[in-house]
A and B are shown apart, each in its own frame.
Chain A
């Protein structure tokens, strides 16, 4: 029997190069939300850790952290609503709780976290301006920090899980996108708080000095998770590492400016406020680029039929622990 191809010209797999999957409809609203939500969660975590485990100086820094967290979460619901195809129906997200859908769990988690963030910021504002605001004395500070931290950990990581619960090869080949986003959120939180403290002249250096080794460790975890994600994704990660627009953004921005530069600055750079501020800015810019490149890379991944066939060549392993 003669060999047949799927087209007149050659043995390339697929149907005339037409994509198998539909590209994602998510744009800048979604990667902006990923960054801001992660930043809000990260600053909340740092502020809560400072409040629960730090000394008196750290507690002052935690007030700044809670205010930053609130500022970062404010635009998030608006971004999510704007992204919808029918924004006026955003409340329909609250019709159900569906554990199999990370987006459903995420909406409820976002509400829980937002409440904690708002209440913590309310209390922090009272402390910062000198006299407590109405009802802030009644708020249980430690309980808020604990419950809010649990919600923050969810918010920081669930967006990565959301992307991996799809059919897009770039997002779903690896299971490490959630951990990567959470580590990025934490390092963004440390960077943002470090930046704020470096810019405030009245704050002593001790808290800043404490942030430095934590940032090194957080950046190392983020780098390790990102490397693991790239390795697990194998061929699917090509849209973000090849030398076109996405590749430059990823390698130079997310990895170079966002992880490697701050890491080096903390480890071998001079230890004063200006360099701390600069490396914080780099880490934050890198965080934005990381989310953007991954979202936009998803479109390229979905539109490539060859990657889809490669991704679905073998049945998934039985061991789905």
Chain B
């Protein structure tokens, strides 16, 4: 499969060249459109994902559907030698990633696999959105986190801000890309491609409040059946001070699924950082004043 550009901005004729001054003018006007302020659509009820990892069978239909719907290029497989996971991680061109965790104890009597479909968490307080300097990353009317590809200039700040290692800058087109919660499908009333194809309904899409209620019920059900290690990751306000709109049901420690136990919100470091810098500034200025005022 050829590597097609994810971005589609710009005015081009079918053979890819710009003809004549009229088209050049149109191109200039189109380029300026990223500066125009659009009226945002009226907010709708917040949507999200509830990924119940106890139902995942590791079929990777979600990965395939996501790639197909969003026309993302395939990547060479990452043969780790330790896992059935040959995708490895989320990236600028992989927006769903299935993890395979083999847990085989010493006695080899009770092996189990943990399977999870990882995705952008669409954080309520998304660090990527909080640091983006161009305003490319916005919250949509569905309260998802979305990168406006025609605005992003590839500064790379979101890449180091994300505490889950989700978003990345693409080496193909220089922009930052991640799961869009299938914004285009939501606009026409459909659900994201991954949720649509998941054969076990491990990936569930819907109104956030309803998903949370459903998740609580599922936890109660699992506890009643003896799986007392089941818990929700990201469903409540504890994670990043607002929760995740794409939350998970896990049965082991977060690090087993390569998730941080208590992710920190980067902007929380700003105030102390600025204050300490201001204090240092005062000290340095006093040094300078005394130094030059000497006769």
Verify B273–A178 contact, CB threshold 8 A. yes
Report whether A49 and B165 are in contact in the complex, using a CB–CB cutoff of 8 Å.
Answer: no
Instruction: Give the contacts of B236-269 with A (CB-CB under 8 A).
Output: 238, 252-253, 255-269
Docked Cα-Cα span, A46 to B272, in Å, equals: 26
Question: What A residues does B167 contact at CB under 8 A?
Answer: 22
Q: Given A92-B34, A100-B270, A175-B276: A25 and B132 within 8 A (CB)?
A: no
A18 touching B89 in the complex, CB below 8 Å, given contacts A6-B103, A96-B135: yes
CB pair B130 A20 closer than 8 Å: no
Q: Residues 143-168 of chain B: 1 if any A CB is under 8 Å from the residue's CB, otherwise 0?
A: 00000000111111101111111111
Expressed in whole angstroms, the Cα–Cα distance for A55 and B292 within the complex equals 8
| Of A118-126, A127-135, A268-276, A304-312, the one touching chain B | A304-312
Query: Is the CB–CB distance between A161 and B280 below 8 Å?
Result: no
| A-binding segment of B51-59, B80-88, B206-214 | B80-88
Closest CB-CB distance, A107 to chain B, in whole Å?
6
Cα–Cα distance between A66 and B265 once the two chains are bound (Å): 39
Instruction: Contact check, B174 vs A85: say whether CB atoms are below 8 A apart.
Output: yes
A225 interface neighbour in B80, B262, B280, B287, Cβ under 8 Å: B280
Interface string of A285-311 (1 = CB under 8 A from B): 000000000000010001001001101
> B39 to chain A: closest CB distance in Å?
16
- Most chain B CB inside 10 Å of its own CB: which residue of A8, A86, A309: A86
Within 8 A of A (CB), among B177-194: none
Indicate if B11 sits at the interface (CB-CB under 8 A).
no
Q: How many residues of B contact A (CB 8 A)?
A: 90
Q: How far is the CB of B255 from chain A (nearest CB, A)?
A: 5
What residues on B are CB-neighbors of A85 within 8 Å? Answer: 152-156, 169-170, 173-176
Hey, which bits of chain A sit against chain B, CB under 8 A?
Answer: 2-8, 13-22, 24-26, 45-46, 49-50, 52-55, 58, 83-87, 89-90, 92-93, 95-96, 98, 100-104, 107, 149, 153, 156-158, 160-162, 164-168, 171-172, 175-179, 182-183, 186, 210-211, 213-214, 217-218, 221, 225, 298, 302, 305, 308-309, 311-316, 320-321
